[in-house]
């Protein structure tokens, strides 16, 4: 008869973990880390060497991702498939910053003579961007997912162009997304933890003659993070989190 503690306390290893980015699993992921930091400062007054109180300030959540490097950028390519779910209806950038990822048309943003051509290429109608290299026009572009209720056309400011999935070159261009970490072992025990609104900051990689495996390091910041909760993450229509085990039973 197994001990009752086997059913009440358990731990997990990285082999038990699956990370979901938005609603996709990225097979490149080797490691994920996070840190929560908060500013706290002692308050002193005359006549006492000891702190009278502690003032609590801002909190920051940040971490890093380590990914294996294959023959494609799995993170960017996977989240492009979820673009309609993670991207705001109105995402736009300076016209000169937009370049399609499948071409080598990487124009220098400081070369103003190219901005109009780049913007026309992306929108296809030629009415957005720098006109005659001097005049700047505003325009309207269709929403990223007009089939969804409430998504109207985008009012694009003068000199800007809309960002679409095919325009994304770098991971830091991706809109914020959630990461759900789901742990489950062969004994039927499960748990999950979630990082909300992950926004990528930096990425770096390298290779040498001694490299057997190429890796890519990514750092991020996030808005908030859940504690580790028993069960598997599900969410009702109202947004409430429901915990269930891997057999579908509710977790108390």
Domain boundary among 114, 131, 162: 162
20 and 131 in one domain? no
Q: Which of 162, 188, 205 is the last residue of a domain?
A: 162
C-alpha span between 184 and 22 (Å, rounded):
19
Range of the domain at 129: 88-162
Query: Are 138 and 20 part of one and the same domain?
Result: no
Mean pLDDT over each residue of the chain, to the nearest integer: 78
Task: Report d(CA 130, CA 109) in Å as an integer.
Answer: 12
Same domain (yes/no): 70, 195 = yes
- DSSP character for 212? S
Q: Around 188, how many Cα atoms within 13 Å sit in the side-chain half-sphere? A: 9
Question: 43 exposed, middle or buried (CB, 10 Å; 0-12, 13-18, 19+)?
Answer: exposed
82 domain residue, yes or no: no
- Do 101 and 151 share a domain, yes or no? yes
Specify the residue for token string 């005359």.
46
Q: In terms of domains, do 68 and 176 share one? A: yes
151 and 182 in a common domain: no
The answer to whether position 47 is within a domain reads no
In a domain, 19, yes or no: yes
Domain CATH number, residue 177: 2.30.110.20
Pick from 227, 232, 172, 242: which is nearest to 196 by CA?
Answer: 227
Report the C-alpha gap between 87 and 151 in whole angstroms. Answer: 12
Q: Do residues 184 and 235 share a domain?
A: yes
Above 90 in pLDDT, residue 46? yes
66 and 127 fall within a common domain: no
- Residue 54, pLDDT > 90, answer yes
Token readout for 177 is 């997304």
Q: From residue 50, how far is each of 38, 53, 84, 139 by CA, in Å?
A: 21, 9, 55, 62
- 89 with 145: CB under 8 angstroms? yes
Q: Which of 143, 162, 181 is the last residue of a domain?
A: 162
- The predicted-structure confidence for 80-100, as pLDDT tens digits, reads as follows 888 888 887 778 877 667 666
- Residue 42 belongs to a domain: no
Q: Is 186 left (phi over 0), alpha (psi -120 to 50) or beta?
A: alpha
Task: Please tell me which residue, 109 or 208, carries the higher pLDDT value.
Answer: 208
Is the same domain home to 31 and 62? Answer: yes
pTM: 0.75
Number of domains in the chain: 2
Residue 176 sits in the same domain as residue 226: yes
Structure tokens belonging to residue 134 = 């001097």
Residue 46 lies in a domain: no
- Cα 230-240-245 angle, rounded to 5 deg: 30
For residues 98 and 122, the answer to whether their CB atoms sit within 8 Å is yes
The reply to whether 192 falls in a domain is yes
Residue 122 · residue 162 · CB < 8 Å? yes
Residues 240 and 119 in one domain: no
Shared domain check, 181 and 156 = no
Number of residues written out for the chain: 252
Say which residue, 138 or 57, is predicted with more confidence: 57
Q: How confident is the model at residue 130 (pLDDT cuts 50, 70, 90)?
A: very low
């Amino acid at each position: 008869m197994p001990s009752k503690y086997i059913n009440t306390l358990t731990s997990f290893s990285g082999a038990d973990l699956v990370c979901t980015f938005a609603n996709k699993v990225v097979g490149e992921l080797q490691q994920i880390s996070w840190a929560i930091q908060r500013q706290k400062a002692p308050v002193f007054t005359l006549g006492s060497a000891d702190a009278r109180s502690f003032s609590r300030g801002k909190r920051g959540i940040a971490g890093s991702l380590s990914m294996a490097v294959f023959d494609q950028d799995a993170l960017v390519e996977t989240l492009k498939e979820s673009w309609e779910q993670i991207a705001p209806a109105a995402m736009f950038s300076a016209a000169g910053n937009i370049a399609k990822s499948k071409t080598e048309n990487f124009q220098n943003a400081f070369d103003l003579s190219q901005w109009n051509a780049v913007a026309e290429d992306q929108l296809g109608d030629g009415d957005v961007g720098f006109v005659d290299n001097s005049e700047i026009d505003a325009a309207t572009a269709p929403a990223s997912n007009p089939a969804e209720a409430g998504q109207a056309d985008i009012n694009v400011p003068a000199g800007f162009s809309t960002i679409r999935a095919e325009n994304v070159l770098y991971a830091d261009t991706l809109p914020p997304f959630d990461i759900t970490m789901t742990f489950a072992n062969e004994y039927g025990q499960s748990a999950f933890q979630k990082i909300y609104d992950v926004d990528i900051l930096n990425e770096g990689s390298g290779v040498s003659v001694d490299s057997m495996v190429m890796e890519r390091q990514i750092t991020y910041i996030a808005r908030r993070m859940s504690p580790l909760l028993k069960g598997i993450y599900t969410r009702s229509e109202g947004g409430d989190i429901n915990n269930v085990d891997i057999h579908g039973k509710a977790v108390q």
